[in-house]
Structures are given as structure tokens and as C-alpha cells.
């Protein structure tokens, strides 16, 4: 399974988590988020990360020219769209050679048929918990609702994932599930990850995948 650690910001903390070899690191470019990178994230720092570690920029309804400029500045590998971006927006971004993760806020009433229009213009979906904010609500949704998803696009599972529900996570299966997105449940403070807890969780996931 792929592993994404999102909400990174502080240089030393970022390097410590990068040394644990997750597949993705996420950086939030949404000003209303408690994990907004602001001016503290040095573009050269991201450029110096190992090429095997894929850098994901998280955006919420950002105008495409601004998104393209940010992607170029930070040399991002993926853009994660967490707002109301349309399939047309995703298609236009795709034409600029961006790899796209489209996030959707899930609850029991979510209409999975709406995802068909996005399948051809996204590399991955991300299923997060519907809440007061576009993301980072810190709670899990009922994963069983994903039995209603039969589309072809692989997805990352998100929303309140961490040590407290790791056992349940490892027993959850779906044919299109390819990875996990971790954020607030691994934090000491917004944007600051608990490196020891993150290492312990990643080791557990790796051991499970090896069995």
C-alpha cells in the first residue's frame, strides 16, 4: 500500500519524516488550513528531497494559473484538488502535464455516480470524511460505504487515520484501494508530525504488507 503523510511544513520535521520513506509527502497551499505552508516552506527544500518521494500540493479551488505557478515553483509531482474543482478544471490541469489526485468528502449519502465524469481526468481519487472543512477534520467515516464505489480509478483512503484505528485499517479491503493518507492523528501540533509515532505506524504497515 502507498503511504502519504500530509500537512508537512517545518524543515527539520519534514526531513525526519522523509527519512522514513513514505511514498508521498503533502503540503497544504490553502490559506484557511491550520497547516498552510505560508512563507515558511523553502522551495529549494522541496527540490532537494529524494526523487523517489513524490511531493503533493494540496489546493482548494485555486485559479489554474496560480496553481500552475505554485506547482512549478515547488517542483510538485502531484496536485491534490480538495475543493469543488470540475472535471473540466481537472482536464485543463491534465493538459499542463499535472498528475491529479481529486479529493471527495464522503458521508453515507454520497452519490458515487458523480465520480464517473472525473475518472478519465484524474490519476487517483482521495476519499476523505465530510466535515466542516474541505479536509483535515480528523475523524473517520464509515468505510463500508465505499462498497458503493465500483469505478476504475484507484483511491487513497483518508480522514482520521492513525494508530488508534490501524487494526481496522489493515482489515479493510477494496479492489481500488491503493494507499492511505495520514495527517492530524500523527501530529504533535498542526503541521508538526510525531516522528516516533509515524515510524511505528509505517513499520506496522510495512510488516503487514510483507505477510
pTM of the model: 0.94
Q: What is the pLDDT of residue 210?
A: 64
DSSP-based three-state secondary structure for 210: helix
Residue 209 has pLDDT above 90, yes or no: no
Residue 36 has pLDDT above 60, yes or no: yes
| Contact criterion met (CB below 8 Å) for 147 and 182 | no
Q: What is the pLDDT of residues 80-133, one digit of tens each?
A: 999 999 999 999 999 999 999 999 999 999 999 999 999 999 999 999 998 666
Q: How far apart are CA 62 and CA 68, in angstroms?
A: 10
Higher pLDDT, 6 or 40: 6
Q: What is the pLDDT of residue 76?
A: 96
| Contact criterion met (CB below 8 Å) for 10 and 192 | yes
Residue 165 has pLDDT above 90, yes or no: yes
The domains found in the chain, sorted by start residue, are 2-210 (3.20.20.70)
Amino acid at each position: 500500500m502507498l503511504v502519504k503523510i500530509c500537512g508537512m511544513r517545518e524543515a527539520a520535521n519534514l526531513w525526519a519524516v522523509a527519512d522514513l520513506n513514505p511514498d508521498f509527502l503533502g503540503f497544504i497551499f490553502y490559506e484557511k488550513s491550520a497547516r498552510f505552508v505560508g512563507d515558511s516552506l523553502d522551495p529549494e527544500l522541496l527540490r532537494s528531497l529524494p526523487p523517489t518521494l513524490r511531493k503533493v500540493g494540496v489546493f482548494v479551488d485555486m485559479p489554474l494559473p496560480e496553481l500552475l505557478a505554485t506547482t512549478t515553483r515547488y517542483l510538485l509531482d502531484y496536485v491534490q484538488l480538495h475543493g469543488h474543482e470540475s472535471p473540466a478544471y481537472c482536464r485543463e490541469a491534465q493538459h499542463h502535464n499535472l498528475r491529479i489526485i481529486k479529493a471527495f468528502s464522503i458521508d453515507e449519502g454520497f452519490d458515487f455516480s458523480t465520480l464517473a465524469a472525473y475518472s478519465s481526468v484524474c490519476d487517483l481519487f482521495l476519499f476523505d470524511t465530510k466535515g466542516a472543512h474541505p479536509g483535515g477534520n480528523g475523524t473517520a467515516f464509515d468505510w463500508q460505504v465505499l462498497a458503493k464505489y465500483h469505478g476504475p480509478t484507484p483511491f487513497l483512503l483518508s480522514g482520521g487515520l492513525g494508530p488508534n484505528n490501524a487494526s481496522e485499517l489493515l482489515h479493510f479491503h477494496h479492489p481500488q484501494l491503493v494507499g492511505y493518507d495520514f495527517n492530524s492523528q500523527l501530529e504533535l501540533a498542526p503541521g508538526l508530525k510525531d516522528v516516533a509515532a509515524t515510524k511505528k505506524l509505517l513499520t506496522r504497515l510495512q510488516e503487514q504488507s510483507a505477510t
